[in-house]
Amino acid sequence: MADALPPRRVYGWVAVAEAITWALLLTGMVLKYVTHTTELGVRIGGGVHGFVFLLFCLTTVLVAVDGRWGAGRTLLGLASAVVPFATVPFERWAEGRSLLADRWRLRREPGTGPLERLAAWALRNPAVAALVALAGVVLLFVALLFIGPPGG
């Protein structure tokens, strides 16, 4: 039986969400820097994009560990979040190479190393892991807000 929220579905959703937030941010940048009408789009779009960017990176690592991706594929997945709209083509590429499974392997198998054991725990305790991950992303997001936007 397939998982209700398998890697394939979760990764697809988060990849699309990340691309949508790129559109929000870029629209906000046009409004701020080209038309000089408002900063609101950058403030809102930038914040939402930053949060979803971190979520995409976390999801990429979880899917990569569960799917036993190599370092190169994992880094390519992470790098796709930096290029506007590249998460969706990367997700399609990964899907085309059967890197996105219908089941979470580590929900049923023990992990063999520290990262796999952590991922296995997270997949077996999704509610607690989601709260911990959300808290971690929020803390990192707040720290990044405190530091300020890139470039000043």
Domain ranges of the chain: 7-147
Least confident span in 57-61, 63-67, 88-92, 137-141? 137-141
The rounded distance, in Å, linking the Cα atoms of 106 and 40 is: 42
Residue 2 confidence (pLDDT) = 63
Residue 151 confidence (pLDDT) = 66
Residue the block writes with tokens 């049923």: 108
pLDDT (average), residues 131-150: 84
Q: At 35, give phi and psi (nearest 5°).
A: -90, -15
Where does residue 53 rank: exposed (0-12), middle (13-18), buried (19+ CB within 10 A)?
A: buried
Instruction: Count the helix, strand and coil residues of the chain and give each as a percent rounded to the nearest 5.
Output: 75, 0, 25
Average pLDDT, the chain: 93
Q: Enter the tokens of residue 23.
A: 């559109």
Q: Which is more confidently placed, 30 or 130?
A: 30
